[in-house]
Amino acid sequence: MADYRPLVLSGTAANSVITELPTSSILITDGSRFGASSLSISGSVSATDISSVGVSCVGGGGAHLFIRRDDGASYPNLIRATDGTITVQTEDDIHFKSNNGEDFARFNENAAVWLYYNNSKKIETTNTGASITGLIGGASSVSATDVSAINYNGMPYPQPFAYVECSTAGTNTTDEINFAAGATTTTAISDTNHIAWNDGEKYFTVSATGTYELLGNFVVDAGSQSDPIELRAKKNGTAFHTISPKLYGTVGPEERTFHSIFTASTGDYITVSIEMDDGGSKTAHLEAGSNLTLKRIK
């Protein structure tokens, strides 16, 4: 028959301590038997009117795990191991919250980890990396390797751009025509998922709402004709910025520049058209080397 020696307590009702354990084992209702000087409780345990709680697991060399919070103590709530690893394991997710329900951190099973500042999510991991809301401070520089893309407040970095250059001369006509019409083009595009070039229609398309910068460097040949040339930035076929630099036909092909900053929405198409400003009787065309760049800046 098992040895059920009594559990000996000493002290007062307000401050009792265990002074002796049975030499074989202790049996607690819904619990398990263990060797001498050990105790395991399973099932449900409840208590009331407890002003402080302290648990220490003692092994060779002294206490190694502490979980305690004494009422009125100056030190914070504490879970501490002096060696080894503390493992928190759950069936689903793990949430850390304040006593009023504000979020500290959330670890989602097979999904994102969220970290919060003052109940506002600042860092979220993804299957490709992490997203940060706000600024990265406290350092003079930030470096990373093997980073394919960075987004800050929805803006990708490096800034998406598309560059198009006429490899041959364009169409010589009295009509208004888009940049590079009739010309063979060479392109350099950072990511066609952000900005693409439609070489058939000779315009850019954008995939996101934002602020864009349009830069043009045009080599224009109007023969011996001297008149202004209309350079029109157009969005979805409608001009929103027009300049009329003068051409002096006696000096041969002339270089003119164009610069515009504007907002565009997802799906908009953007280009620059050219037309001699003389009532439609004089011709002009772009020479090889003329180029146009569209870049998202915000």
pLDDT tens digits for range 102-113: 999 999 999 999
Spell out the alpha helix ranges (H) of the chain: none
**Cβ–Cβ under 8 Å, residues 161 and 190:** yes
Tokens for 100?
């009023």
**Cβ–Cβ under 8 Å, residues 117 and 126:** no
**Cβ–Cβ under 8 Å, residues 178 and 280:** no
pLDDT tens digits for range 106-149: 999 999 999 999 999 999 998 878 888 877 766 566 666 666 66
Tokens for 186?
């060479």
Res 289: pLDDT: 96
Residue 72 has pLDDT above 80, yes or no: no
116: enclosing H helix or E strand: strand 113-117
**DSSP single-letter state for residue 120:** E
Res 28: pLDDT: 44
Which of 18-22, 115-119, 191-195 is the least confident region?
A: 18-22
Q: Indicate the average pLDDT of the chain.
A: 79
Which of 39-48, 62-71, 256-265, 269-278 is the least confident region?
A: 39-48
Q: Which domains does the chain possess?
A: 1-46 (no CATH), 52-87 (no CATH), 94-148 (no CATH), 157-296 (2.60.120.40)
Res 33: pLDDT: 43
Query: Which of the four pLDDT bands, split at 50, 70 and 90, describes residue 288?
Result: very high
Long-range CB contacts (within 8 A, 24+) of 42-48: none
Among 169, 194, 197, 163, residue whose Cα is nearest residue 181: 169
pLDDT tens digits for range 206-221: 999 999 999 999 999 9
Res 149: pLDDT: 64
pLDDT tens digits for range 27-58: 444 444 444 444 555 455 555 555 555 555 55
Mean pLDDT of 278-290: 87
Residue 223 has pLDDT above 60, yes or no: yes
Which of 46-50, 178-182, 200-204 is the least confident region?
A: 46-50
What is the SS3 assignment for 43?
coil
Would you give the end-to-end CA distance of the chain in angstroms? 81
Res 111: pLDDT: 92
| pTM reported for the whole predicted model | 0.56
**Cβ–Cβ under 8 Å, residues 235 and 270:** yes
Give the phi and the psi of residue 82 in degrees, each rounded to 5.
-85, -10
